[in-house]
Amino acid sequence: MVTDSGSARVGRSAGRLNAPRPALVEQRFDGTPRVVNRELVTLVREEWRVVDRWWTDEPVDRRYFEVVLESGRNVCVYRDREEGCWFTQNA
């Protein structure tokens, strides 16, 4: 039987790819983003919802927006309806 060698390579954990990052968002009355990370939103290109894992202790309920900022950048943001916070993520 092989035991744990105690080396650094053993027990390394896998990381998430494309983990969400907190974003600073100002929203309009209808819940759509108006300002993302201090940049004005010029266009909301798409909007969709992701509801998943509702059967677990960590349910996912997100409202995603693909927006175009004043600088011309395309950004994907979502509002986590469980936590009430905004995040950016490459969807």
Contact residues toward another protein (CB under 8 A) are 1-5, 8-20, 50, 52-53, 60, 89-91
The structure tokens listed for 20 are 């969400």
Task: Output the smallest distance, CB 57 to another protein, in A.
Answer: 11
**DSSP assignment letter at 37:** T
Task: Output the smallest distance, CB 10 to another protein, in A.
Answer: 6
Task: Output the smallest distance, CB 36 to another protein, in A.
Answer: 17
Q: Residues near 75 by Cβ (< 8 Å), separated by ≥ 6?
A: 36, 37, 66, 67, 68, 69, 88
The structure tokens listed for 31 are 């819940």
